[in-house]
């Protein structure tokens, strides 16, 4: 175990880490199970807030407030994007989801969540526990594995953004225990917001393109 991690590990172990880790695991499972549904958004956002709560005794202010501001911005970005999809209407939204073949669905999502837990357990037991205690190793590996699976199975830019941010949260826990720098933490949080903005923009572009294709198809049908 690295000596520079010891102060952070001590403060983390005195917090409500076990309860928060259970909540983190539940949110991660929900995100994977309902990955193709809008319910994945609130589960993902709850996951981010749990990460902040898990690290609060370690980072405190102003790092914690920076994370809260960034998470609030991401919440607003994703909420506006989902509202945009609702306003677009069910037909355009359904067509946007059908642009790519999708393996999503509750049964497949449940299998993916089970695979993620198995991978997390195996990696924690084989590798991580030799370097870190369980209270740190499990959330780090869980978030990294879940982020990888979300990106791998994403059917839209918004889900890809969720996966990238989940992966980054796993790395953030490690960095938070490594005597984090305020400037680096702030830049990292700003990059999180930029990832959310890029994912939102690409998702809106996907829907706009599908709407244009649908309008062009209807016009050609009328002319024929």
Per-residue b or e along 155-191, where b marks 16 or more CB atoms closer than 10 Å to that residue's CB: bbbbbbbbbbbbbbbbebbbbbbeebeeeebbebbee
For the segment 182-188, the average pLDDT, to the nearest whole number, is 93
For the segment 146-162, the average pLDDT, to the nearest whole number, is 90
Rounded to whole angstroms, the Cα distance separating 46 from 23 reads 9
**8 Å CB contact between 169 and 192:** no
Task: Tell which wins on pLDDT, 128 or 183.
Answer: 183
Is residue 27 in some structural domain? yes
The tally of domains found in the chain comes to 1
Q: Which residue has the tokens 């990106």?
A: 151
Is residue 14 in some structural domain? yes
Is residue 153 in some structural domain? yes
Is residue 219 in some structural domain? no
Task: Indicate yes or no: pTM above 0.85.
Answer: no
Q: For residue 201, give the nearest of 157, 153, 155 by alpha carbon.
A: 157
State in Å, rounded, how far the first CA of the chain is from the last one.
72
160 band by pLDDT with thresholds 50, 70 and 90: very high
Is residue 66 in some structural domain? no
2 band by pLDDT with thresholds 50, 70 and 90: very low
User: What is the pLDDT of the chain when averaged over all its residues?
Assistant: 81
Give the residue numbers spanning the domain of 181. 3-58+76-94+106-214
Is residue 45 in some structural domain? yes
Is residue 224 in some structural domain? no
Tokens of 165: 């941010």
In the prediction, which pLDDT does 169 show?
Answer: 95
Is residue 65 in some structural domain? no
């Amino acid at each position: 175990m690295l000596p520079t991690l010891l102060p952070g590990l001590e403060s983390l172990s005195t917090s409500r880490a076990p309860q928060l880790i259970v909540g983190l695991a539940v949110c991660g499972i929900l995100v994977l199970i309902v990955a193709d549904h809008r319910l994945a958004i609130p589960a993902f956002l709850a996951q981010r807030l749990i990460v902040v709560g898990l690290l609060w005794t370690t980072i405190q202010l102003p790092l914690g407030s920076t994370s809260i501001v960034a998470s609030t911005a991401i919440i607003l970005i994703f909420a506006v994007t989902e509202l945009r999809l609702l306003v677009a209407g069910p037909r355009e939204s359904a067509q946007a989801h059908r642009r790519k073949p999708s393996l999503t669905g509750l049964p497949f999502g449940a299998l993916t969540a089970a695979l993620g837990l198995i991978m997390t357990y195996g990696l924690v037991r084989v590798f991580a526990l030799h370097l870190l205690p369980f209270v740190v190793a499990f959330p780090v590996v869980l978030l990294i594995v879940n982020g990888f699976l979300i990106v791998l199975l994403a059917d839209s830019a918004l889900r890809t953004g969720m996966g990238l941010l989940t992966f980054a949260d796993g790395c953030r826990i490690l960095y938070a225990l490594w005597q984090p720098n305020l400037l680096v933490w702030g830049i990292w949080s700003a990059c999180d917001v930029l990832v959310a903005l890029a994912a939102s923009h690409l998702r809106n572009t996907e829907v706009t393109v599908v709407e244009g294709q649908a309008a062009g198809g209807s016009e050609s049908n009328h002319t024929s």
